[in-house]
């Protein structure tokens, strides 16, 4: 049997941690947040 990392996501065994969802207009501030390691998880930019 071959195991793939994607299988864990598909089964729901691993879920991404999302720090927050931000407007695209806030991209500069979000970039600064990431640079100073102020986020705990992924950041999402939306249009």
> Would you kindly state where each structural domain of the chain is located, as residue ranges?
16-46
Q: How far apart are the C-alpha atoms of 19 and 21, rounded to whole Å?
A: 7
pLDDT, mean of residues 12-27: 93
Residue 1 has pLDDT above 70, yes or no: no
> Which region among 4-8, 14-18, 34-38 has the lowest average model confidence (pLDDT)?
4-8
- Statement: residue 42 has pLDDT above 90: yes
Return d(Cα 45, Cα 26) in angstroms, integer.
8
Q: What's the pLDDT band for 4 if we cut at 50, 70, 90? A: low
């Amino acid at each position: 049997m071959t195991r793939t990392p994607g299988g864990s996501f598909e089964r729901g065994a691993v879920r991404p941690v999302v720090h927050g969802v931000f407007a695209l207009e806030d991209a500069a501030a979000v970039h600064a947040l990431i640079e100073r390691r102020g986020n705990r998880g992924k950041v999402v930019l939306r249009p």
